[in-house]
């Protein structure tokens, strides 16, 4: 597989309906909120987790598509087949061994190749892999107002509770939901971290798989907490050169999301928003590809 030779930026839009896209462990698992503006947040690691899970399902252990940072629940196979034997034993120097191990990890594991991984040894720090794909926090287009929904369970966990309730046997729980929100995430792919001896070998094929993951990952992540989440937009900017042909902020500015109609009242569906890409105003050397 040849490594990537173009820089990319991308804008990714997804929405949630009556669900919690990303709970805040600091706030009793309520949806994350920017305390200054009230906008909802979804962390970069949350999205990366879903990309990993999707690739794990889609490729299900195919060679070169292992997932290093695995979530146990989705794992179908916990034992990997024996790997190709390598000539590591011939390498005498520690640096060579670390370099060989780094390359091997990149070759075999999609997430190491894409996002990087820390492979630190006790002696030195040279086993770090920096991946070409970088995501930032996703932010909702408008401030969100999460609501707390109280729910009951017609059973109790322990006998002691049952006695205390004289056999009434009910527990109350709560769910935190966002009635509706459209989120916007922005991402970067640096070709130079894919290419060359020190590069991870992240290829054009891997980019396609990444787009595929972004398109489909929410369809494989349904749960009681998430509600209805869908990928709504993926706008890819492809630079002609590896170094890039335009500042990233100018490309991101070309994608605007606005309210349709008079915009009064809360948005409750994707149809309440309009996404526009200013293709005419784009700098030279950058191709825009609206994937969906």
Residue closer to other proteins by CB (options 60, 260) is 60
CB of 223 to other proteins, least distance (A): 15
Q: Note whether 209 and 217 are within 8 A (CB).
A: no
Q: Note whether 20 and 226 are within 8 A (CB).
A: yes
Residue closer to other proteins by CB (options 97, 226) is 97
Residue closer to other proteins by CB (options 46, 162) is 46
CA–CA distances in Å: residue 289 to residues 10, 210, 236:
9, 14, 5
Residue closer to other proteins by CB (options 2, 120) is 120
CB of 10 to other proteins, least distance (A): 12
Residue closer to other proteins by CB (options 9, 15) is 9
Cα gap 234→14, rounded to integer Å: 9
How many CB atoms lie under 10 A from the CB of residue 179? 16
Q: Note whether 3 and 190 are within 8 A (CB).
A: no
Q: Note whether 172 and 223 are within 8 A (CB).
A: no
Would you tell me the crossing angle of helices 44-59 and 204-216 to the nearest 10 degrees? 110
CB of 25 to other proteins, least distance (A): 5
The whole-angstrom distance between residue 268's C-alpha and the CA centroid of its chain comes to 24
CB of 78 to other proteins, least distance (A): 6
Phi, psi of 7 (to 5 degrees): -80, 145
Which residues contribute to the site for other proteins (CB under 8 A)?
Answer: 24-26, 32, 34-36, 43-45, 49, 66-73, 75, 78-86, 88-89, 97-98, 100-101, 104-105, 108-109, 117-121, 125, 127, 130, 132, 134-137, 139, 186, 188, 190, 192-193, 241, 243-250
Residue closer to other proteins by CB (options 19, 132) is 132
CB of 80 to other proteins, least distance (A): 5
How big is the chain by its Cα radius of gyration, in Å? 23
Q: Which DSSP state fits 33?
A: B
Residue closer to other proteins by CB (options 118, 280) is 118
CB of 49 to other proteins, least distance (A): 8
CB of 258 to other proteins, least distance (A): 20
Cα gap 171→153, rounded to integer Å: 5
């Amino acid at each position: 597989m040849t490594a990537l030779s173009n820089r990319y930026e991308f804008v990714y839009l997804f929405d949630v309906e009556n669900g919690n896209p990303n709970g805040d462990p600091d706030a009793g698992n309520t949806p994350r909120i920017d305390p200054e503006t009230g906008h909802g947040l979804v962390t970069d690691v949350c999205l990366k987790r879903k990309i990993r899970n999707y690739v794990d399902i889609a490729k299900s252990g195919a060679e070169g598509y292992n997932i290093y940072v695995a979530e146990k629940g989705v794992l179908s196979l916990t034992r990997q087949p024996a790997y190709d034997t390598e000539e590591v034993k011939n390498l005498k120097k520690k640096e060579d061994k670390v370099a060989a191990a780094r390359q091997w990890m990149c070759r075999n594991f999609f997430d190491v190749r894409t996002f990087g991984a820390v492979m630190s040894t006790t002696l030195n720090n040279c086993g770090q892999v920096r991946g070409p794909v970088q995501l930032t926090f996703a932010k909702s287009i408008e401030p969100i107002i999460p609501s707390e929904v109280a729910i009951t369970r017609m059973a109790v966990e322990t006998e002691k509770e049952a006695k205390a309730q004289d056999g009434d046997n009910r527990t109350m729980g709560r769910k935190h939901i966002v009635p509706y929100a459209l989120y916007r995430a922005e991402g970067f792919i640096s070709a130079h971290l894919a290419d060359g001896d020190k590069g991870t070998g992240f290829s054009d094929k891997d980019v396609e798989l990444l787009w595929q993951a972004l398109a489909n990952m929410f369809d494989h992540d349904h749960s009681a907490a998430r509600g209805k989440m869908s990928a709504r937009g993926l706008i890819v900017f492809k630079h002609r050169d590896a170094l890039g042909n335009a500042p990233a902020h100018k490309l991101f500015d070309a994608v605007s999301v606005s309210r349709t109609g008079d915009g009064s009242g809360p948005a409750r569906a994707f149809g309440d928003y309009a996404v526009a890409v200013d293709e005419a105003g784009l700098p030279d050397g950058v191709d825009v590809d609206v994937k969906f």
